[in-house]
Amino acid sequence: MITSVKVMQILIASSAAAFVIFPESKNNPGLSLEGSGVVSVDSHKDTSYGLDLALKGASMPKILGLRPGISFTGLSTGTYLVGIGIDKTVQLKNIDITLSFYPSYSYIGQKDKERISGALNFKTALDIFYYVKPKFKIGLGVAHISNGGIKKPNGGINLIKLTAGYDF
């Protein structure tokens, strides 16, 4: 049986390989601020909502166009993550597709302790952005948070993201 966790893992993992061969986005800014409203899509009794913020630096073209960033995620279940990571953005006309990976320090709220554990978790996200104006973008995305099998339980948390961002 394919669970929502497996679907998210397959989607994000299969996208990762393609990002290495695509050129970096022409819209890649020196600095980007993105904020998302998020909702969990896991099959459990309490739906959680939250906020996801990311501040991303300039791309590093010599290292496959990767960009460093800082991420904060807070959920209504009392789960919080803060991490430093990387992302890769590719461009198709006015659309940017971004794959992000953020190892994060985590505080797991009581309601999420059945699904995820440990102070170290990894947030992987796939976002699609449309540039409404040259520096303002909106987008949809998915994210998966898990500890990578370091500790049990490790069912993970899956999120759907609605994002707005501004490039400086």
Burial class of residue 44 (count of CB atoms within 10 Å of its CB; 0-12, 13-18, 19+):
middle
Percent of the chain with pLDDT over 70: 75
Q: Mean pLDDT score of the chain, rounded to an integer?
A: 80
Whether 81 contacts 72, CB under 8 Å? yes
pLDDT digits (tens, 9 = 90+) for 49-87: 888 988 887 666 557 778 888 999 999 889 999 999 998
How far, CA to CA in Å, does 127 sit from each of 15, 112, 154?
A: 11, 24, 23
- Give the number of domains in the chain: 1
Q: What is the CATH number of the domain that holds 54?
A: 2.40.160.20
> Which domain does 17 fall in, by range?
4-167
Q: % helix / strand / coil in the chain, to the nearest 5?
A: 15, 55, 30
pLDDT over 50 at 18, yes or no? no
pTM over 0.85: no
